[in-house]
Structure 1
Amino acid sequence: MRRLLSALLLSALAMASCLLLSVISGNAAAEPVKIKFTLDWKLQGIHAWYYWAKAKGYFAAENLDVRIDQGEGSAATVTRIMSGAYDAGFGDINAIIQNAATKPGETPVMVYMIYSKAPFALLTKAGGPIKSVKDLEGSRLGSPAGGASFKLLPLLAKQNGIDYSKITITQLSPSLQEQMLLQGQVDSVAVFTATSYMNLVSLKLDPDKDFRWMYYSDLGLDLYSNGIMVSPKLAREHPEAVKGLLRAINRSLRETVENPDAAIDLLATEEPLIKNDIERRRLLYVYRTLIDTPEARELGIGDVSDDRLKSAIATIATSFELPRLPNPGDIFDHAFLPAKAERMPPAIAP
């Protein structure tokens, strides 16, 4: 009887071992999770880390099959994901807030903040009549009608005690905003710094010496901006894939800012028409001004302050007259972030 029991026990152990090996083997051979990822715009230096992650095999190492497509705007990233066409992307958290107010549960959730400082600003000529935000009264301001910087302008004026009705607004094409400022047709333009800065460089001008930049964040509108967002479906069904996606991007962001020449050379294999010197400078400019912030040095790149986010939600709700205030947890989820030690901003050469 004892022999029979021993034999049965050994048989059961053998079957359990086979089952375990089968499970392990099955996991090892699991199909990669496919993720369709949309950028916010056409290829620029600020997108280098996504292609670096793909080329270096960091996505593959996380068992991910990531397809990267160019975008049509930071806000469009949100609508692309909500439509089901994309699983994840790089876009504007303020667009998430706006959509979450009317379609809770349907909007993507941000899981990794990149632009800790929003790139919304007023651009003026250094020798022009606008020396401070108070000088906007009685001045001429140009902006694309749908630009986020323009949409926030009435709130900016209110925050700074400015009579918005005394600003003469000229709606213009995004491609003409710097030229109209240079020609003196307007006194200032409401811009997205990551784009305008390099437009001025392309015009052989010095953006730092010849112009004055007034960031909204320094004038009472302390907002977040672009980061990595994912669909509720991806977050719910493949949480480990989301964590892997962020690990790969986080590693690549750090490596590209430390190796900008190699990063832009690699990006040029995706888009040969880019100007390497312009995109290298854009990459480093955006890193220094929007990513490597005091908050990022405290919390690590990718994370946000809940109190600051709550305040930003209230600001956006007021500015866009939203019907309800979304909860911070519906907008940003900290659970997928890599460890803080892995997200500290690297120091780069000046």
Structure 2
Amino acid sequence: MKRKIEYLLLVLLLILSACAMPPKTGRTKITFVLDWLPNTNHTGLYIAQTKGYFEKQGLDVEIIQPANSTAEQLVASGRADFGISYQEQLTYARTTKNALPIKAVAAILQHNTSGFASLKTSGIQTPKDFEGKRYGAYGTPSEYAMLAGIMADYGADISKTEVIDVASADFFTLVPKQIDYAWIFEGWAGIEAKLRGVELNYFSLRELDDTYDYYTPIIISNDAFLAENPDIAKKMLAAITDGYNDAVADPDEAATIFLANVPEANEELVRESQKFMSTKYIDDAPYFGYMEYDRFQKPADWLFEQGLLESPLDVSEAFTNEFLPNKG
């Protein structure tokens, strides 16, 4: 009964928000591309859409999923105005020979909430135990380098672990028959494991080495778009900030709004994930979206030292807080 009431209230909210919106014909069209399937990294966007925060800023925002291109490629080419990416992806994109003109304009999470996970029964107690095990990899160069570096810190040799490319296959369908451990996101797969009653050994990247405490995910935009449309960018970030601030204040309402927009999602997983994620959007930062220079510089230096970047990252061009409503 409580859930039905919540949905009825949400419908009422949509009606009231629509009444307060500027005429659609007078709004600026914006395309926002996600990085993957909708999940609780994206909740603030759906709140901003549902509560009319975009519309109140005079924006007509379409949220899309990437098809045959990545979010970085779509934003760089101008086919999307904003998108969701990851700091390591942006670092690669800006340092290749044919660099992509993209910039981080907000951090969705203040700290890296990902890490390596295995079943409790796997016998993996520390990264030293990765030797002789099968690792399910996404397949990115930085992933392999991080795994190699962490194993070396524990006196282990990455050549003694079998790396299997599993792309984005579901962790729970792979272990233990096909792989022994993988890189997961605590706020999604970690929560799902608890709901399934599956006990994990989990090694947080940021706790293993603070070099890996980079911003992930982030919101990106195109350099030229930002230079030509600073006021629109500020309006966009103001609406997004309102959405994520609401998610921090009321995780249950946030989950209800997310589920109304993504009804195919697992309700129990979304609600439990949202409780976790709502504590991570701002965390110990002064305000939503805030990013620090050193948190970009340290991982980029490490990647360059590992020979994974074609050139050093110019951090001053890689991110900005200037479009955030609470910029300091």
Q: TM-score range by the shorter chain?
A: 0.7 to 0.9
**Aligned residue in 2 for 1:46:** 41
Q: Supply the distance in 1 between the matched residues of 2:97 and 2:56 (Cα, whole angstroms).
A: 35
Q: Which residue number in structure 2 is paired with residue 98 of structure 1?
A: 92
| Matched position secondary structure for 2:164 | strand
* Alpha carbons 2:245, 2:288 under 8 Å: kept: no
RMSD of equivalent CA atoms: 2.9
Structure 1 residue 31: Cα displacement: 4.1
- The verdict on how the C-alpha distance between 1:243 and 1:160 changes in structure 2, with shifts beyond 3 A counting, is farther
- Tell whether 2:58 aligns with 1:69: no
- In 2: Cα distance, 1:72 partner to 1:129 partner: 39
Q: For residue 96 of structure 1, report the CA deviation from its aligned partner.
A: 1.1
User: Structure 1 residues 315 and 225 mapped into 2: Cα distance closer, same or farther (>3 Å)?
Assistant: farther
Whole-Å separation in 2 of the counterparts to 1:301 and 1:163:
39
Residues 250, 269 of structure 1: alpha-carbon distance in 2 compared, 3 angstrom cutoff: same
Q: Which residue of 2 aligns with 1:303?
A: 290
Deviation at 1:201, TM superposition (A): 4.8
Asked if 2 retains the 8 angstrom alpha-carbon contact of 1:45 and 1:280, the reply is: no
In structure 2, C-alpha distance between the alignment counterparts of 1:86 and 1:339, rounded to whole Å: 25
How far apart, in 2, do the equivalents of 1:198 and 1:306 lie? 31
**Distance in structure 2 (CA, Å) of the matches to 1:87 and 1:173:** 27
- What letter matches 1:61 in structure 2? K
Deviations 1:180-210 (CA, angstroms, capped at 9, x unpaired): 3244x543222333442244356x225xxx1
Structure 2 residue runs without a partner (length 5+): 1-23
CA 1:146–1:323: 2 relative to 1, 3 Å? closer
CA distance in 1, matches of 2:166, 2:180: 13
Aligned-partner SS, 1:112 = strand
| Structure of greater Rg | 1
Distance 1:103 1:96, change over 3 A: farther
Q: Is there any run of 5+ residues in structure 1 with no aligned partner, and where?
A: 1-28, 342-350
Tell me by how many angstroms 1:32 deviates.
2.9
Structure 2 distance, partners of 1:195, 1:284, is 11
Q: Distance in 1 between matches of 2:234 and 2:170?
A: 41
- TM norm structure 2: 0.81
Deviation at 1:37, TM superposition (A): 0.5
Tell me by how many angstroms 1:30 deviates: 10
The corresponding residue for 1:331 is: 318
**Which residue of 116, 128, 133 maps to 1:122?**
116
Distance in 1 (alpha carbons) for counterparts of 2:93 and 2:223:
14
Task: Name 2:240's counterpart in structure 1.
Answer: 249
- Secondary structure of 1:228's aligned partner: strand
Residue in structure 2 matched with residue 142 of structure 1 by the alignment: 136
SS at match of 1:254: helix
Match of 2:165 in 1: 171
Asked if 1:261 is matched to 2:252, the reply is yes
CA displacement at 1:103 relative to structure 2:
5.3
Q: Partners of 2:235 and 2:220 in 1: how far apart?
A: 14
TM-score with structure 1 setting the length = 0.77
Determine the structure 2 residue equivalent to 1:21: none
